[in-house]
Structure 1
């Protein structure tokens, strides 16, 4: 996995790189500007495109000045520059790049205040006003300029971070910063890019390397991690010769109710498709025919027999998809909680626990819970923003020594160590009922195969999204059952 860093840590990485490569800060800025322009030109290749580069007076503005000069040098013929002059101070690298712009491309029009400026139709504004490190609301002239840009019909591309957007911490709403169509971020994405409130600030982001010391980045202490393809590939174990069904574990899934049998079938099927050796579904008797027809590989355990069965024969036990929340289901859950074996808890299992908070403390250590937003808040209290929600997940994961999979576009996995792992796979084509049931089945399948709870959660979440990403290349909408059946192909590709 890769570290994500705070704005102050990234600033320290800049300083470390400048000292140890060695490289002058103005040359590092040049590398950043070149990387930005390369990404920008791929996204907007029209050399006649009208472009306004709005520059603050710090290093983000220095980036903007270098970008304007490089764009003009690469044949973009309709570039203008706005200098804000909202402060009496300018950074040294800003001053150097302003002089370079005036000397090397004097044909680029430079405006010194917004009164001289009129936005052009279909113009692209490159936002190089403030950049990373801002941790307060915009005020004064910057707020007025940002409001003017947002109110116009221009497309905005931000340099590193949209002006007014904080790199980490609570994203204040209503959001009043730049609303960027694209943000081109240097070396690393910012932590807040992965929070749902970021949708107010940026539609999409692109990360470009600028030559910062990657070894130093990974050496820094950080509780924020990005799940990588390489990590997943290194974690997955190959299926060896002479192995058999007993090698890959036995999973038990307690799920399904009279009207929600589909959830049980989806979870059981995904568990099978994830490579488990054996899976037993404890479902109502009324669902047995459906189980035998759709998943003949799965075994059946009646609800009456479940309470007389030792869990020792199972390497993973999942509870919840489509289970229902009645007295019978509550008693079954309490029985499983009393066995002191790690569980995967989802859906109605979480709803039962939310209604009886004393059960939270009975969840065995090293268990995995997989709530969506509403389930999470029912368990741990209402939250006004996602930053606080994720911080609660971090605290509860450590206190209860369990893995919390907080599902979203970018799923957050809180580990008992205090680390938050962020998953990048997945897409809106997966926004259909049953996807959570498939994820629960996948995590259960991996845990039964001998992976730790942390590994099982990370593998399940990443591969669930990766399968959806692969399928989405050929379709607009993906059903949960379609995704489940495609899991083996994705596993084979990654291994």
Structure 2
């Protein structure tokens, strides 16, 4: 898995690479600029479109100057560079690249403090004003220039980070920053790219490798990690001959009310399709016909509102509770019985999360390594209101360690927060999956993996990845705008087989 570094750690990685490769800082800048250009020319091949570059006088601006020169070498001729001279300071690498640029015929215009801003008629703007080290809001001339660029309504490609956008830390709701259509970022995604506050400032990002030492990056022990396919391939265990249903465990899904049986059906079906050897659903008697009709392979424990069902807890390799369960007294009693009698990790989702929020004593009694799967509102009910996703992330890390549990915080890049103080960002999934019932399916997948003797961390990381990957395989090739949860369920076995191939 790839460590996600803070801006300070990225600078450490640059310095280490410069000292130990060895390579000069300006040559590392050239390498980064070539990586940017390599991606850019493959996706913006029309060399006739005019391109403007807005460069500061730091190293991000130096990148911009180098990119302009390299694009000129690739026969992009309608280029214009604007340099924001808002201070007398300039880095050595910026000055070197400015001298190199002056050897071309690319026009250069300076924008001085308080000066007029250009009436830009280019088709594409490349933003290289300020880099990843920014840690305070824009003001004065930079604020004025960024607002001007945004109102031009051009296609904007940012170099590494959109100007004004913080790489990590809280992003204020009214932050002044470049609104980029694309960010071509160096080496890795910045942490805030993976949080919902990034949505107004970047439509998509692409990380290009610039040769920073991976060994050194791992030595920094970042709490933030990015999960990709090779990580999941290493975790998944193909089925072997002479195995049987007992080999793959028995998952129990406690879910559903008379009016919310859909959640129970989706969750239990997902557990069966994700490979649990046996799946049992504990459902109300009114839902038994629906269960038998929807998925006859799933066994049932029938419950009613007047008494707790008799459950032989030792039969089950994993237990998930919550989808469509309701928050009544019978549900509270049922959750209490699970916590009292089942000492392995429990997966708590949906209504169970709201019960735990109202009964913190039960939250504190969860077996170690249990798994909570909240969306944003459920998370805030559990742990208090939060004004930003960055603060939510920090709270989740603390609570996972305090309670010795895993918290699966759902969003576009669903985050698994671990008792060891790590935050793992998932890389699969797409907007077509924004549909009621998706969380129920995820709960079933995680329950199936736990039943198959994956560790709780492996079950979370693999379950989330598989869930998103199945959605990608359905939505992206077919350009579907919506993928329903039931379709994800039937895709699971195909997706898992591909990953295990």
TM-score, normalized by length of structure 1?
A: 0.98
| Match of residue 441 from structure 1 | 444
Partner of 1:227: 227
Residue in 2 that maps onto 1:72: 72
Structure 1 residues 110-119 or 175-184, which shifts more? 110-119
Q: 1:422 aligns with which of 421, 425, 429?
A: 425
Give the corresponding residue for 1:10.
10
Instruction: Quote the offset at 1:124 in angstroms.
Output: 1.3
Tell me how far 1:49 sits from its aligned partner. Answer: 1.0
3-state DSSP of counterpart to 2:130: coil
SS of structure 1 residue aligned to 2:252: strand
Q: Which residue of 1 is the match for residue 337 of structure 2?
A: 335
Higher mean displacement: 398-407 or 170-179: 170-179
String of CA shifts for 1:180-225, please: whole Å, max 9, x gaps.
1111000111111001001121111011111211222222211000
1:369-409: per-residue Cα shift (whole Å, max 9, x none)?
10001111111111000001111111110000000000001
Give, in whole Å, the separation in 2 of the partners of 1:324 and 1:112.
64
Matched with 2:137 is 137
Residue 35 of structure 2 corresponds to 35
Is it true that 1:492 corresponds to 2:471 in the alignment?
Answer: no
What are the residue-to-residue correspondences of 1:76-87 with 2, within 5 Å?
76-87=76-87
Aligned residue number for residue 185 of structure 2: 185
What pairs with 1:7-156 in structure 2 (closer than 5 Å)? 7-103=7-103, 105=104, 107-113=105-111, 115=115, 118-121=118-121, 123-156=123-156
Shift of 1:116: 6.1
SS at match of 1:113: strand
**In the aligned structure 1, how far is the partner of 2:453 from the partner of 2:75?**
57
Written as runs of structure 1 = structure 2, the 5 A alignment for 1:406-417 is 406-417=409-420
Structure 2 portions without partners, runs of 5+: none
The CA deviation string for residues 40-84 of structure 1, in whole angstroms up to 9 with x for no partner, is: 112211101111111101111111111111111111111000111
Summarize deviations over 1:262-288 as a string: whole Å, max 9, x none. Answer: 100000000000000001110011111
Larger mean Cα displacement after TM superposition, 371-380 or 338-347: 338-347
Are 1:385 and 2:388 matched, yes or no?
yes
Asked whether the 8 Å contact 1:170–1:388 carries over to 2, the reply is yes
After superposition, the Cα gap between the structure-2 partners of 1:447 and 1:319, relative to the gap in structure 1 and judged at 3 Å, is same
- Tell me the distance in 1 between the aligned counterparts of 2:28 and 2:329: 64
Give the one of 335, 343, 348 matched to 1:345. 348
In structure 1, what is the Cα distance between the partners aligned to 2:162 and 2:93?
Answer: 20
Structure 1 alignment gaps of length 5 or more: none
Distance 2:344 2:84 in 1: 62
| RMSD, matched Cα | 1.3
CA distance in 1 between counterparts of 2:199 and 2:116 reads 32
Given the alignment of the two structures, is residue 318 of structure 1 paired with residue 323 of structure 2, yes or no? no
8 Å contact from structure 1 (residues 398, 418) kept in 2:
yes
Whole-angstrom CA distance in 2 between matches of 1:122 and 1:302:
67
Task: Report 1:352-391 matches (<5 A).
Answer: 352-391=355-394
Contact 1:175 1:200 in 2 (8 A): no
CA contact (8 A) 2:17 2:212 kept: yes
* Secondary structure at the counterpart of residue 54 of structure 1: strand
More deviation in 323-332 or 433-442?
323-332
| 1:282 and 1:306 in contact (8 A); partners too | no
Alpha-carbon distance, 1:238 to partner: 1.4
Moved over 6 A (4+): none
